[in-house]
Amino acid sequence: MKFIAGNWKMNGSAAALKNMTSALRDVDTKNTVVLCVPFTMLTHDTDGVALGAQDVSAHDHGAYTGEVSAQMLKDAGARYVIVGHSERRQYHDETNDIVRDKAAAAIEAGITPIICVGETMDEKQAGKTMAIIESGVRESVPTDTNGKIVIAYEPRWAIGAGLTPTAAEIAEAHTLIAKTLESMGLAGTPVLYGASVKGSNAAEIMSIPNVDGVLVGGASLKPDDFIPIITSMK
């Protein structure tokens, strides 16, 4: 059984979500499927499909104009939230410390954070990939996870670029993440791979040791692209 999450980023509409959830209702799968949509599309009317948000405030409530708390996400229908996506780290200067606080707020509210880590092209070229991944996991995961977190490894240089690391590179990164989680007492935490996943490479990627599923960007927007990813693994 694999964990397959779509990240719609700033795309879609209520109508597109309805179209997707009704298409997903008929898909015969044992995999866990989650759609992470913009705040405005969160709803309780999901045809049984689990929804997630793409960001959350680290604060509970109060004078934080424009922010949305974890409790509000839950109230709106979210069961998951992506935290520390590379686009948040890049455009909103989110650090591991901020990501950890956001993940903790989600856990406190009973929402599962999907915590993203991964290296930039500069970091890769400087030979820092493994160090960035390990510190990303150690510093972005809260101490008290209540057994409810998901990690996503997203090589930032490959996102939306149609690029993918080699199977050996993915295996090396995921093995390191699994070992790091184990040393933190978090063995068994699902670890997803994300960057340029599509129907044609999903099965191969999910067969790599320690890859428990995928986080899919562009190919999660249309049922014709997303469903083959879900059905590519039993």
Residues belonging to the active site? 85, 154
CB of 87 to ligand 13P, least distance (A): 7
Q: Which is nearer to ligand 13P, 197 or 233 (CB)?
A: 197
CB of 59 to ligand 13P, least distance (A): 24
Q: In the bound complex, which residue of the shown chain has the CB atom lying closest to ligand 13P?
A: 217
Q: Which is nearer to ligand 13P, 179 or 231 (CB)?
A: 231
Please say whether the beta carbons of 193 and 205 come within 8 A.
yes
Between helix 14-25 and helix 223-230 the angle, nearest 10°, is 40
Interior angle at CA 87, CA 192 and CA 116, nearest 5: 25
CB of 216 to ligand 13P, least distance (A): 5
Please say whether the beta carbons of 159 and 117 come within 8 A.
no
Q: Which is nearer to ligand 13P, 24 or 36 (CB)?
A: 36
Footprint on this chain of ligand 13P (rule: CB under 6 A): 7, 85, 154, 159-160, 194-197, 215-219
CB of 21 to ligand 13P, least distance (A): 19
Q: Which is nearer to ligand 13P, 181 or 197 (CB)?
A: 197
Q: Which is nearer to ligand 13P, 34 or 71 (CB)?
A: 34
CB of 198 to ligand 13P, least distance (A): 8
